[in-house]
């Protein structure tokens, strides 16, 4: 009898705890979306309108008619996609080498690659700024692609190495006997088998590149090269009175591409990250 | 025999060439944008080097270091950084493991809930900062309204611009974004515990609490070590949340090392001093990581004895 009461109260407590934590995680997200659909005259009302009674698309219309916004959006997409492609290729190659071959200082190299995560980004930027200006990479999308790629590359290599480690080596030996070249084995046998890993790497890089503020803030000063984070911070911050429904609208729109990617790829993403973090 | 041997040698050479080609793209990128800059940055820290006269550098030894320490800015921002990192990571870990335990239970729709939980993590950091600024907004923010209505607060607070509250405001926003990732990783580690082990402990009469402290936590030690270290390093580097929400203010109460080094290098344009701050920060982080890993491995050997 006592035990069943114990079990029931435990169940109730855990349900309450779950609801509280979920509320903390979900309600702010809901608030962002609902604010984006409200008219500016409504959002300054107290008590707040918990649910938009007269939802409006005006904010979105206004946003998409701003030429600068479309430029930032386009730049963000180009830079993030570029970084994704480059880091998928570079991580696949390097991860394969680290997974399949033995060579001198291999573990030291891996440690060195991992240790880059500790480097303060601003220290890098102090020198990178001069280098970029020397090689004409300041104010270019290519420069941002290189910077954001290298930010995600170390973890990508570790992550994809984990995937390669799981692929039995006997598959490759069969290919070798059939006379396939080394690159042939990589592209025809290993590549198709490691698609989940590559997707995880790609999604991770896209997420990081899309999120970048610091590189874009320092390496880009021209408005036509700006990405969303810097663009938003320059256009919508610094004024005393914020146009909150516009700010939340641009926030929603900036989140949508990642949300879509996440909905399709979350299975791979979670598998990749847990493999990387739990093993590494 | 000899022929076979030379062929073998040839294959090994080809292997080496292949490895080199595989590593080249990543190696080049990492050297260009990370390794060379970090070495250069360490070198610059010993020079009087300003963005205003980028071509002139003069060697000044440790002057930048003394300068940074003498200001007092370095230690105040170090203190802010350490408080921020410690509080966020500890709370994140505690709530994260509670959430992981809850999500590890058997209930209907847990798969959907596990995905929904991750949503804040995919929201861009700058959006998280803006969203929480709106929630914290002094006059029309929803948080003040609710807290005043519930009687938690007697009057509206200026969360982001009040010296005593600003850091907590940033912490809450950071926690919101990072908690999902932490919980998901911990859940993955928890699922790696063999059920036979849990069953055996239950048969031996272990209660819930014992099960958690004696079996679950020790088993997850490696995962916990990794994810918390990642969280420490990431939060040490946190820049956008502070830059957008507070810019380091009010009265430098949220000026972290990241903000200080950015401001010194790219607002005051004193690259040499900025580099010196970066070097001290890096050394500190290396020491922290080594000690942290040691802390975890020592416990392991204790457990073995």
Cis peptide bond prior to B250, omega within 30° of 0: yes
CB contact under 8 A, A278 and B189: yes
Q: Give the torsion sign (CA, A89, A95, A99, A100).
A: positive
Cα–Cα nearest to B276, from B119, B24, B89, B68: B68
- Stated pTM of the model: 0.91
Instruction: For residue range B115-157, list pLDDT tens digits in order.
Output: 899 999 999 999 999 999 999 998 889 999 999 999 888 888 8
**Does residue A47 have a cis bond before it (omega within 30 degrees)?**
yes
Q: Give A165's contacts (C-beta < 8 A, 6+ positions apart).
A: A99
DSSP B47: E
Per-residue DSSP letters for A40-61? HHHHT-SS--SS-SS---HHHH
Q: What is the pLDDT of residues A79-135, one digit of tens each?
A: 999 999 999 999 999 999 999 888 888 889 998 998 898 899 999 999 999 999 999
Which chain B positions have a beta carbon within 8 Å of A105's beta carbon? none
Nearest to A150 among B21, B30, B134 (CB): B30
pLDDT of amino acid A47: 84
Both tokens of B142, joined, read: 């929803």
Query: What local confidence, expressed as pLDDT, does residue B3 receive?
Result: 62
Report d(CA A48, CA A26) in Å as an integer.
18
B218 touching chain A per CB within 8 A: no
The SS3 assignment for B54 reads strand
ipTM value of the model?
0.91
Task: Quote the tokens at residue B188.
Answer: 């993955």
Question: Which segments in chain B show pLDDT lower than 70?
Answer: 1-5, 298-305
The gap from C-alpha B26 to its chain's centroid, in whole angstroms, comes to 24
**How many CB atoms are closer than 10 A to CB B213?**
11
**In whole angstroms, what is the distance from residue A266 CA to residue A67 CA?**
33
Q: What digits encode the pLDDT tens for the residues A33-85?
A: 999 999 888 888 878 888 888 889 999 999 999 899 999 999 999 999 999 99
A144-174 in b/e form (b: 16+ CB < 10 A) is bbbbbbbbbbbbbbbbbbbbbeebeeeebee
Measure in Å the smallest separation between the Cα of B298 and chain A Cα atoms: 19
The two three-digit tokens of residue B159, written as one number: 């969360």
CA gap B117, B120 in Å, rounded = 7
For A252, the closest chain B residue by CA position comes to B127
A206 shares contact with chain B (CB less than 8 Å): no
Give the SS3 label for residue B79. helix
Residues whose CB is less than 8 angstroms from the CB of residue A227 and which lie 6 or more positions away in sequence, other chains included: A72, A75, A76, A79, A144, A212, A216, A220
pLDDT band at A279 (very low <50, low <70, confident <90, very high): low
Q: Is B219 on the interface with A (CB under 8 A)?
A: no
Do B293 and B229 meet the contact criterion of CB atoms below 8 Å apart? yes
3-state secondary structure of B56: strand
Could you give phi then psi for residue B55, rounded to 5 degrees? -85, -20
Which of A17, A210, A280 lies at the smallest CB-CB distance from B98?
A17
| Token code pair at residue A120 | 């303060």
**What pLDDT is stored for residue A266 in this prediction?**
82
pLDDT for the residue numbered B301: 47
Closest partner residue to B34 among A48, A119, A213, by Cβ? A119
Q: Best interface-test mutation with B: which of A120, A131, A207, A274 has the largest number of B CBs within 10 A?
A: A120
Of B97, B237, B99, B259, nearest to B166 by C-alpha is: B259
- Segments in chain A forming alpha helices (H): 2-36, 40-43, 58-64, 67-100, 106-115, 121-134, 141-166, 170-177, 182-184, 191-193, 195-211, 214-219, 228-236, 244-274
Separation CA A104–CA A127 (nearest Å): 30
A270-280 mean pLDDT: 67
d(CA A148, CA A250): 22
Q: Are A91 and A156 in contact (CB under 8 A)?
A: yes
* Alpha carbon distance A58, A238 (integer Å): 23
Task: Give pLDDT tens digits for A207-259.
Answer: 999 999 999 999 999 999 999 999 998 888 766 457 888 999 999 999 999 99
Split at pLDDT 50, 70, 90, the class of A182 is confident
Query: What pLDDT is stored for residue A168 in this prediction?
Result: 83
């Amino acid at each position: 009898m006592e035990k069943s009461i114990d079990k029931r109260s435990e169940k109730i407590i855990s349900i309450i705890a779950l609801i509280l934590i979920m509320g903390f995680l979900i309600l702010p997200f809901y608030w962002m979306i609902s604010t984006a659909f409200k008219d500016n005259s409504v959002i300054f009302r107290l008590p707040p309108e918990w649910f938009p009674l007269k939802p409006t698309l005006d904010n979105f219309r206004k946003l998409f008619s701003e030429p600068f916004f479309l430029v930032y959006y386009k730049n963000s997409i180009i830079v993030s996609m570029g970084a994704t492609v480059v880091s998928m290729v570079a991580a696949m190659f390097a991860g394969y080498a680290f997974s399949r071959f033995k060579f001198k200082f291999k573990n030291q190299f891996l440690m060195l690659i991992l240790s880059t995560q500790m480097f303060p980004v601003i220290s890098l930027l102090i020198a990178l700024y001069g280098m970029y200006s020397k090689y004409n990479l300041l104010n270019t999308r290519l420069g941002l692609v290189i910077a954001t790629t290298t930010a995600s590359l170390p973890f990508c290599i570790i992550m994809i190495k984990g995937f390669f480690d799981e692929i039995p080596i006997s598959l490759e030996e069969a290919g070798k006997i059939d006379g396939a070249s080394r690159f042939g084995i990589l592209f025809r046998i290993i590549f198709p088998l490691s698609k989940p890993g590559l997707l995880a790497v790609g999604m991770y890089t896209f997420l990081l590149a899309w999120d970048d503020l610091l590189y874009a803030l320092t390496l880009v000063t021209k408005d036509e090269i700006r990405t969303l984070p810097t663009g938003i911070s320059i256009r919508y911050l610094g004024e005393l009175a914020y146009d909150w429904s516009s700010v939340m609208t641009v926030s929603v729109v900036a989140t949508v591409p990642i949300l879509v990617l996440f909905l399709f790829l979350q299975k791979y993403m979670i598998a990749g990250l847990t493999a990387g973090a739990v093993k590494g | 025999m000899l022929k076979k041997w030379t062929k073998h040698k040839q294959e090994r050479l080809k292997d080496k060439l292949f490895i080199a080609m595989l590593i080249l793209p990543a190696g080049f990128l990492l050297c260009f944008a990370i390794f060379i800059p970090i070495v250069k940055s360490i070198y610059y820290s010993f020079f009087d080097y300003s963005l205003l006269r980028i071509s002139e550098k003069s060697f000044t030894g440790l002057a930048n270091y003394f300068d940074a320490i003498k200001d007092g800015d370095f230690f105040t921002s170090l203190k802010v950084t350490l408080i921020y990192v410690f509080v966020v990571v500890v709370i994140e870990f505690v709530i994260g493991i509670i959430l992981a335990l809850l999500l590890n239970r058997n209930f209907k729709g847990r798969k959907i809930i596990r995905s929904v939980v991750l949503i804040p993590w995919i929201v861009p950091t700058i959006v998280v900062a803006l969203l929480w600024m709106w929630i914290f907004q002094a006059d029309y923010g929803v948080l003040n309204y609710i807290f005043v209505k519930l009687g938690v607060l007697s009057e509206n607070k200026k969360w982001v611009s009040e010296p005593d509250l600003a850091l907590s405001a940033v912490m809450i926003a950071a926690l919101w974004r990072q908690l999902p990732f932490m919980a998901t990783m911990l859940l993955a580690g928890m699922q790696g515990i063999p059920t036979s082990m849990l069953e055996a402990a239950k048969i031996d009469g272990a209660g819930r609490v014992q099960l958690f402290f004696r079996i679950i936590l020790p088993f997850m030690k490696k995962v916990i070590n990794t994810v918390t270290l990642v969280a420490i390093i990431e939060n040490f580097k946190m820049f956008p949340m502070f830059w957008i929400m507070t810019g380091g203010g009010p009265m430098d109460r949220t000026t972290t090392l990241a903000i200080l080094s950015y401001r010194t290098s790219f607002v005051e344009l004193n690259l040499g001093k900025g580099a010196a701050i970066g070097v001290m920060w890096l050394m500190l982080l290396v020491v922290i990581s080594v000690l942290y890993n040691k802390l975890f491995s020592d416990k392991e050997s204790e457990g073995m004895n």
